[in-house]
Structure 1
């Protein structure tokens, strides 16, 4: 893939005019504390990284460590189990002037070093038109942090539909969030209608555990597919991977109905697998 997610120029000379305009527009920004419509729970449904990158960032496209996790927004805090135990205390939101999604991406990600230098929504497979109008809300925390600041525009969040938000995440990526509706539950990687073991029943009864179960499966399938593509003839390595997964399942099953134990071992397994994925 051409380009590089980690080679965005820091000089940003062509963006100086954008920066100056942004500073001027800040004087017309509207403070909103809190953003009432944002309060509630939101699930990460996609992790969108720069598909023009030639390096391998730590955070992957649709990373199973993040997809499925739930962020809670309240007047007191923004919290989420994103691997870094996100906590933004007493958040406030400052509305920016309406702009296109592509303009927000350019002010956040900066420029590519290769042509075309201007990043657009398509580069991140956001599945949204770059010309869509959004109103970014700058997120400020009295203590802690929500996300990383962009090159020109600081950390922000914006509606792209009544029940969907976009925010800039770490490593020059974007997170898409879907509002969690009352009673909504994630389906695990297996059927909850079959005859279930104690562990399976415990997972089915928990939205969080079901989401982690699906993340383990997604991570495992990503790793296995990558191995088959890189070394399709290496049956020994593939066999060893499958044996390791069976051994891990036996370890997981020792948790029985202990929800904390199940979350800990599944979260650790996802991290372990994704550290092996390019």
Structure 2
């Protein structure tokens, strides 16, 4: 016999319980297989119709070539930023890629610019396919990856914006046996410094970024181009003084990229 004082749970409470359970199911401490692995930034995409709010240039060498590792232990981008430890991933609603990007980079209302940018506005040459985005929660909360989103429109591409700035990083999947590429042929590396660079995907990526930043700065130097060439030669000497010290080489190249981009 039913207890006289026991009430049946209301439909509303039951619905709330189901909703909470579904929410708990959507949050996972394990990185989705679609985002796991090592990735390399191959495009820094910015809204070409909103140049006033740029914080980075298109394909900015400060971010281009950076290596991203995503696994259950953390999210690590080799740009010197803080790691996201023990990440939790929340599934966001399935959406079309262009609508997803447009929502997250909405522009101020303007008579000549639509509120939502398109993939073409960012120079992103990917199909407007349905995507299953995820949002990241980090330990500690201070990581720039906290509240970042990730989208994988295909098995070999990942899109993200990890610090809330107005750009999209487009990354490609790096295969485990893929050769390391520097700005010079690694097969012809002759010095200890060059061999150390060619032994590290991170250092080789920074080496390519220094070369790209130098190409960016040189035409902007104008009458100071000779001075810039001289300073580049001096910097190479100071970089080489690091020898095989990986930390010293990485710091030297990061600093040089910043200097060149401020020319």
TM-score category by the smaller chain? 0.7 to 0.9
1:137-176 → structure 2 map (5 Å cutoff): 137-144=134-141, 145-147=143-145, 155-169=148-162, 170-176=164-170
- 8 Å Cα contact 1:49/1:173 also seen in 2: yes
Residues of 1 paired with 2:41 and 2:171: CA distance? 4
Do the aligned partners of residues 191 and 104 (structure 1) sit closer, same or farther apart at CA in structure 2, a change above 3 Å counting? same
Alignment gaps of 5+ in structure 2? 1-18
Residues of 1 paired with 2:118 and 2:78: CA distance? 29
Which has the larger displacement, 191-200 or 212-221?
191-200
- 8 Å Cα contact 1:192/1:201 also seen in 2: yes
Residues of 2 paired with 1:164 and 1:195: CA distance? 30
Using the TM superposition, give the Cα deviation of residue 148 of structure 1 relative to its aligned residue in structure 2, in angstroms.
6.9
Residues of 2 paired with 1:77 and 1:36: CA distance? 12
Residue 32, structure 1, aligned to residue 25, structure 2: no
Aligned to 1:217: 211
Aligned to 1:14: none
Residues of 1 paired with 2:136 and 2:94: CA distance? 16
- 8 Å Cα contact 1:50/1:124 also seen in 2: yes
The 3-state SS of whatever aligns with 2:176 is coil
- 8 Å Cα contact 1:139/1:156 also seen in 2: yes
Alignment gaps of 5+ in structure 1? 1-24, 150-154
1:127-142 → structure 2 map (5 Å cutoff): 127-129=125-127, 131-142=128-139
Residue 253, structure 1, aligned to residue 246, structure 2: no
Q: What value does the CA root-mean-square deviation take over the aligned residues?
A: 2.4
Aligned residues: 238
Do the aligned partners of residues 184 and 168 (structure 1) sit closer, same or farther apart at CA in structure 2, a change above 3 Å counting? same
Query: Which digits, 9 at most, give the CA deviation of each residue in 1:143-172, with x for residues without a partner?
Result: 2334475xxxxx311111112111124421
TM-score, normalised by the number of residues in structure 2: 0.81
Residue 190, structure 1, aligned to residue 154, structure 2: no
The 3-state SS of whatever aligns with 1:119 is coil
Residues of 1 paired with 2:149 and 2:218: CA distance? 35
Residues of 2 paired with 1:50 and 1:268: CA distance? 26
Using the TM superposition, give the Cα deviation of residue 188 of structure 1 relative to its aligned residue in structure 2, in angstroms.
0.9
Using the TM superposition, give the Cα deviation of residue 266 of structure 1 relative to its aligned residue in structure 2, in angstroms.
1.0
Residues of 2 paired with 1:176 and 1:27: CA distance? 33
Aligned to 1:126: 124
Aligned to 1:47: 44
Residue 178, structure 1, aligned to residue 172, structure 2: yes
Aligned to 2:251: 264
Do the aligned partners of residues 26 and 191 (structure 1) sit closer, same or farther apart at CA in structure 2, a change above 3 Å counting? farther
Residues of 2 paired with 1:163 and 1:87: CA distance? 23
The 3-state SS of whatever aligns with 1:140 is strand
Residues of 1 paired with 2:53 and 2:149: CA distance? 25
